[in-house]
Structure 1
Amino acid sequence: MSAMNPYRTLRQSASDEFIINKSRFIGYAAPCETEAEALAFLQSIRTKHKDATHNCYAYIIGQNAGIMRYSDDGEPGGTAGLPMMEVLKHQGVVNCCCVVTRYFGGVLLGAGGLVRAYTQGAVVALKAAQVVEMLPSCQYLCEVAYPLWDKVQYALKSLPVQLLSSEFTTAVGFTLLIRQTDAQSVLDTLTRVTDGRIETLLEEESYRVWDSESK
């Protein structure tokens, strides 16, 4: 298995909004695998809100945060894009883009007020988009003889795996999704309960979201 490290990102594209002193703020956030995707997301918001006073943004691309960009889009320097970037960094998320749109309501907020407003815009956007941890995972193709299937099923109930599929032909073939950190212990257990009479093949390594209700 190759070395893969977990990282935090967003589950989905989402938005939320609020009003401060008659100014309307709309926070958007989305997962983006590349800078091109982040820029495309930014452009989609700019197009949707081309009549907005400001469309400020911040994005981080790369599991090691190799690309970090932000913009105040006409707001006083350091009052919008940078506070938004600080929210992303504080949440520890990467491969994501956040845009906060403002429709000016006629009341000046001052530098401190702007920082708080754009910080809040990023916070509500990330909350709506749901921060998740992407864990290195392994997908295994497995096969056992029919007489062993009951033992395997019983073992799987207590193992940290997801049974993705099963097929009954001349033998029982099934596909398991396992966290990379659990893979060896799971395979050792299945080998033990089948007395070594199980065939396993690593089909794929990828990043997956394991929710709290997942094993």
Structure 2
Amino acid sequence: MINSYLTIKKAGHSEISIKKSVFICSIARTKNEDEARTFIAKTKAVYPKANHNCFAYVIGEHNEIQRESDNGEPSGTAGVPILEVLKKNDLKDVTAVVTRFFGGIKLGTGGLIRAYTQSTVSTITAIGIVKCVLQKIIYLEVSYSQHNRLKIFLEQNNITLIKADFAAVVTLQVSVASTETIAFKESVIDFLNARVTFKEGPERYVEVDYD
């Protein structure tokens, strides 16, 4: 598993008009090719009278799967521009479909490339991008006398507190970036200057805002 990756914040779509042609870019997260194909098919079904439904998707930790289609537009004028936008934004596990309703005015090769690029960029900008960070669940067992101090430490260091259990000892469940696990433990020990027991849980991806 990679330490972090970028993807879209949510599924959505937006519309632009260029020389009477309407371009609607629909975009969604897709974890595999089956999900990508399903999303493409559903989008085509929404716009059955469209002249073109061009698409591109990138899937995999290292973008191992990349596909694109011009769907009847001149070769290289639609699918590739859509794919390039996804790659330039370093997005993973995303499928974009740009639907075109022809307005009667030909845009030419350069015009088509710019139109499909602009449509995809506009939608990604409107929806937003998030960073998915690989984090590890850690359980910290401390005495009741150290509980409040540990909470202060977590707040000062922006560590996410998931849950607190109060039994013979206090057990706090937190989420820490996997790459910072060792440093986190050392910092807690230094801060408390007291006995603390750590237990590691599973890893998971947590979404954070990306500027």
TM-score under structure 2 length normalisation: 0.93
Relative to structure 2, which stretch is displaced further, 131-140 or 145-154? 131-140
**Correspondence for 1:205:** 203
Q: Supply the RMSD in Å over aligned alpha carbons.
A: 1.7
Q: Which residue of 1 aligns with 2:76?
A: 78
Structure 2 vs 1, CA of residues 62 and 212 (structure 1 numbering), >3 Å: closer, same or farther?
closer
Q: Name the aligned partner's letter for residue 178 of structure 1.
A: V
SS at the partner of 2:36? helix
Give, as a single letter, the amino acid of the residue that structure 2 aligns with 1:187: K
CA distance in 2, matches of 1:168, 1:149: 10
Which runs of structure 2 are paired with 1:29-44 in the superposition (5 Å)?
29-44=27-42
Identity level (%)? 33
Unaligned runs of 5+ in 1: none
* CA drift at 1:196: 4.5
Tell whether the 8 Å contact from 1:161 to 1:179 is kept in structure 2 after alignment. no
Q: Which amino acid aligns with 1:88?
A: L
Q: Which moved more, 1:33-42 or 1:154-163?
A: 154-163
What stretches of structure 2 of length at least 5 have no aligned partner? none
Q: How far off is 1:193 after superposition?
A: 3.0
SS of equivalent to 2:121: helix
Q: Say if 2:114 is the partner of 1:116.
A: yes
> Given the alignment, which residue of 93, 101, 125 partners 1:127?
125
Query: 2:10 is aligned with what amino acid?
Result: Q
CA positional deviation for 1:164: 1.3
Structure 1 pair 171/10, CA: closer, same or farther in 2 (3 Å)? Answer: same
Structure-2 residue corresponding to 1:191: 189
Structure 2 residue 169 is matched with structure 1 residue 171: yes
Counterpart in 1 of 2:155?
A: 157
For 2:156, what is the secondary structure of its paired residue? coil
Q: Indicate how the Cα distance of structure 1 residues 212 and 89 shifts in structure 2: closer, same or farther if over 3 A, else same.
A: closer
TM-score of the two chains, using structure 1 as the length reference? 0.92
C-alpha displacement at 1:13, in angstroms? 0.4
2:3 match:
5
**8 Å Cα contact 1:29-1:129 kept in structure 2:** no
Structure 2 letter corresponding to 1:109: L
Counterpart secondary structure, 2:199: strand
Q: How many residue pairs align between the two structures?
A: 211
Counterpart Cα distance in 1 of 2:77 and 2:149: 61
SS of 1:57's equivalent? strand
Residue matched to 1:53? 51
